[in-house]
Structures are given as C-alpha cells and as structure tokens.
Amino acid sequence: MHSDDVPGVSVDDELAALSEFALLRENARSIGLTGDLPPVSRVSVTTADGKVSALRWGAGTPRLVFLHGGGQNAHTWDSAILATGLPAVAVDLPGHGHSSWRADRDYMPWSNARTLTPVLEQLAPDADLVVGMSLGGLTALRLTAVAPHLARRLMMIDVTPSVTRRQSAMSDVNRGTTVLVGGQRVFPDFGSMFEHTVRSAPGRDREHLRRGVLHNARRLPDGSWTWRYDELSGADFEPLWADVDTLSIPTTLVVGGASRFVGDDDIAQFRRRLPAIDIRVVERAGHSVQSDAPEFLAQIILDALTG
C-alpha cells in the first residue's frame, strides 16, 4: 500500500521504514540480472573502537572484501557484488553506514586498518581479494602492511596516496558527489536531500542516485534527514606511498576514465614503485567506478582472481 492511500502517512514515513534490502531487485535489473538473488545479511563485530557493521553476501566462504569510500557505505557495492556472483563481505567503515562513530573522529587509513583487522579475521579470514575505493582503497593498502595475512590480492579504485594534493586543485564540478562530504548535514525532508545530491552529479542516473541516498540517509526524531556518516576531515596520505613500496602481492589500480582523482603522474609513480601493477582504466566512469560501471568492475575483479 502506498502512503497516498493511508491518511497521515507521508512519503518520508515510507522511506524511513523501507528495508535496506528492498532495493536489491532494482540493482539486479539495472545490470540485466534475472532470477533469484543471493542471500545477504547484515552482521556486526564489536571491536575496541566500537561496532563495525558489514553485509555478508552469498552462502559460501567470502572470497572478496569490499571497503567503500569516504561518505559512502557498504551498499555502494551492491550492483558490483551481484555482477561477480561470488560470496563477499562489504564493510561499513568506522563512522559510516551502520558502524559506530568514533569519539576522536579519526577515520584515516591507519586507524581504519587497525580497527578492521579483527573484523576481517572473523568475517573473511580467507578472502582472495581486498577491493577498496578512495578512502577504502587507502585503508586496504594500509591493511596489507598491518595484516598481510588478510590481503592475498589488492585492488585500489581511483585513488593513490597523492589524492589529497590532487583533490585540493580540483573544482567542485570535478569532485562530483565528494563535495557532499563536509557540506550540509541536515535537510528538512528526503526530497531536498535527494535534489541536493543530484545537483552535485548532474550526469548521473536519478534512480541510481536515489538508491544511494536512501542507503546513506537516516531520519531524525524531528522528521528531518541527515547523512549516515560522521563528519570527516582531510589528511595527508602521502606517507602511504611507503606501503606501496612494500607490496609483494598482485595489485590492481582501477582508474575512472572520466575522473580526475588519479593523474598520469600518479600512475607513473605507482609504476616506478610497483612495476608489476596492473592498471585498468574504465572509460566514462567517474570516481565511484562501482556505481558508474559495476559490470565492468566485476569483470576486472574476476580477471584479478584468475590472473
């Protein structure tokens, strides 16, 4: 029954009550999948830094681990995971999604990797590949240093340790939805929150954006809406190039062809430090390759597992 048929029930009421898994059929249709969906459930692990929540996909032992970018959540991987067809764990980073917020608001790769180590030891100790985008990519890189037993292969999506320097020179238009992080926090209703997001990504599909905002929003007691992530601050990630120097596992760097977060000089530095790195450019994809081209990313992931 739709809210229009129920006196006193608003669209915002309906959206706030929507199950987080109710939209998966839309994800499947968007990439041309039919048939039964794989089982997916929300799980959590309590750590010294608070609860870490995650989505467990499939019935088998997880082969893939996914770490999202700053201001995102585990559902950003829904379509890509469906396209791979493999059992996986997608984590809500600390301060994001359904994971706990930290009192010190330290959501940097160094602290994230320490926090996630016991989580992945419990949820995905034998995963073949850790995939991370943006902040999640840098967290995955750091994870290879502090918990090498959890990272047999590494895939970083549209990020290098030089991302802060590069982002500081970008316009708001080129930054896309990343401009939302650090921007307006509270909106009077879901519609205004959604339209605010659309304005930051005018070329993106509205239905796809709507799913993303629904997963990334929560309703406050007064009826207004806010983001599911804590306030984030920037940092200098350049020291993480030292972790690149220590990499001894198969590593892939995926670059959005329409993104400016990774430049030619960043790629050249990666090649100097890690000559065996596999560079994949996904044409017409922006910073969030998993959102813009989930089928292409899924194929790159499958290639990495067999390469």
Active-site positions?
134, 158, 287
Give the chain as a 3 state SS string: CCHHHCCCCCHHHHHHHCCCCCCHHHHHHHCCCCCCCCCEEEEEEEECCEEEEEEEECCCCCCEEEECCCCCCHHHHHHHHHHHCCCEEEECCCCCCCCCCCCCCCCCHHHHHHHHHHHHHHHCCCCCEEEEECHHHHHHHHHHHHCHHHCCCEEEECCCCCHHHHHHCCCHHHHHHHHHCCCCCEECCHHHHHHHHHHHCCCCCHHHHHHHHHHCEEECCCCCEEECCCCCCCCCCHHHHHHHHCCCCCEEEEEECCCCCCCHHHHHHHHHHCCCCEEEEECCCCCCHHHHCHHHHHHHHHHHHHC
